Amino acid sequence: MPTSIPEQELMEPGHTACQGCGATLAMRYVLKALGKKTVVSVPASCWAVIPGAMPNRTLDIPMVYTPFAATGASISGLREALDIRGDSDYNVVGFAGDGGTADIGLQSLSGAMERGHNVFYIMYDNEGYMNTGVQRSGSTPYGAETTTTPVGLDRNFKKQQKKVVADIMMAQGVPYVATATIAYPEDLIRKVQNAKKVNGPKFIQILAPCPTGWYYPPEKTIGVSRMAVQSRMFPLYEYSSGTFRLTRPSKPVTVREYVQSQKRFSHMDEDEIRTLQEEVDRRWESLLEKETH
C-alpha cells in the first residue's frame, strides 16, 4: 500500500533507546516531515541519551544539547542567529520530553511562543520522567503508578489529572497547535508539514508510549498508542488559524480497556477507573465545544 510517509531517513541505525521506544519513532517521523535543513535542540531527557555517547550522533542533522529548562530559549536564540546569518530556510526544532515541557521548561516554552519566533516545539509525551527512572510529571495521567507515586499501602498513585500542555498553548494563542501519536504516522507527518506552512511558533504534542515506564511488552507500543486515541485518553486535534479540528476515533474503546493494557494502572479499582473515565468524557465534551466555536 502506498503511503504519504517520506522515504528520506535522517535517523541512522545504532541508537540506544529501549526496544519499542515510542519517542524514537516520534523523532524519526518529525525529521521525515522536515528534511535535512533542520536543527534540533534537545534538553535533558531520554532523547539526550538515545543518540549515544560522543562522538556518536544517530541523527544526520545538527543537534544542540541544552540544559533541562532551556529548550524554549535555545530555539529562540538559534532561530534569530540563523536568520541573522541569512539561513532562514532552516527548520528550528525544540524536541523535549513532557517533564522538560510541562514542568521545568514551561516558562521558557511559554516565553518563546509568546515572542513569536518561527520555531517548532515538539513535546514527546511519555507521561513521566523516564530518563531518571519513571518519576511522575505534570503530564502523567491520573491513576498511573510511578516511582515517586508508588501505590503502597496508601494508594499513592498519581491523584491529579494530566496537565495537557497543548491545551495551554491554544489558550496562550499559539498560531499552530496539534496533538499526534506514533500509531498514526501519516497524521503526525501531515501535522508537522502543516505546521511548517505557519510562519511563527508551532507546538505539537506527540504521545510516545514507553514500554519501560508504562510496563507493557515492547511489541505493543503501536497498539497502546492507538488505544490511547481510541479510548479518548489522548485525543488528536489540530488547531490552526483559529480553526479547531478534533479526530473522532473510528473504533472507540473504553478507558478500562486502555488501562488494562499497561501495568502502571494495574492497581486501579472500579471507582478509580470510573473517575478517570469521567475526566476523559468531560475533556472530550469540552474539546467538542471548541470545535463548534
Partner 1 sequence: MREIGSKTSIMTGNEAVAEGVRLSKVGFISAYPITPQTTIVEKLAEMVANREISARYVEVESEHSAMAAVFASEIAGVRSYTATSSQGLLYMHEMLHWVAGQRLPIVMSVVNRAIGPPWNIWSDQSDSMNQKDTGWIQVYSESNQEAMDTLIMGYRIAEDSGVMLPFMSMEDAFILSHTSEQVAIPDQELVDEFLPEFRLGFKVDSDRPMGYGSYSTPDGPFMELKKDMMESMWKSANVIKKVTREFSEILGRDYGGLIEEYMTEGAEYILIASGTVASTAKYVAGKLRADGRKVGIIRIRYFRPFPAEDIVRATKDAAHIGVIDRSVSFGSGGTVFNEIRAALYGRSDIPVTGFVAGIGGRDVREEDIEEMINLMAAGKEGTVFINTRGDQ
Ligand X SMILES: Cc1ncc(C[n+]2csc(CCOP(=O)(O)OP(=O)(O)O)c2C)c(N)n1
Helices (H), 197-254: 211-214, 221-230
Contacts of 54 (CB under 8 A, 6+ apart): none
- Pick the closer one to Mg ion by CB: 130 or 170: 130
The contact set with partner 1 (CB under 8 A) reads: 36-39, 41, 48-49, 51-57, 59-67, 69-70, 72-78, 80-85, 90, 107-108, 110-111, 114-115
Contacts of 102 (CB under 8 A, 6+ apart): 123, 137, 138, 139, 163, 165
Assess 167 for contact with Mg ion (CB under 5 A).
no
Q: Which of 4-12, 51-59, 121-129, 154-162 is the region at the interface with Mg ion (rule: CB under 5 A)?
A: 121-129
Binding positions for ligand SF4, 1-60, rule CB under 6 A: 17-18, 21, 23, 46, 50
DSSP conformational letter for 17: P
- Pick the closer one to partner 1 by CB: 49 or 151: 49
Q: CA–CA separation, 41 vs 48, rounded Å?
A: 10
- Pick the closer one to partner 1 by CB: 47 or 214: 47
DSSP for 118-132, written as a single string: S-EEEEEE-SSBTTT
Binding positions for Mg ion, 61-120, rule CB under 5 A: 97-98
The contact set with ligand X (CB under 6 A) reads: 23, 44-47, 68, 97-100, 126, 128-132, 137
Residue 221 beta carbon to ligand SF4: minimum distance, rounded to whole angstroms: 8
Binding positions for Mg ion, 128-157, rule CB under 5 A: 130
Which residue in the shown chain puts its C-beta closest to Mg ion?
A: 97
CA distances from 170 to 38, 54, 120, 213, 273 (A): 25, 38, 15, 28, 28
Contact in structure between 170 and 86 (CB atoms under 8 Å): no
Cis peptide before 55 (omega within 30 of 0): yes
- Pick the closer one to ligand X by CB: 104 or 233: 104
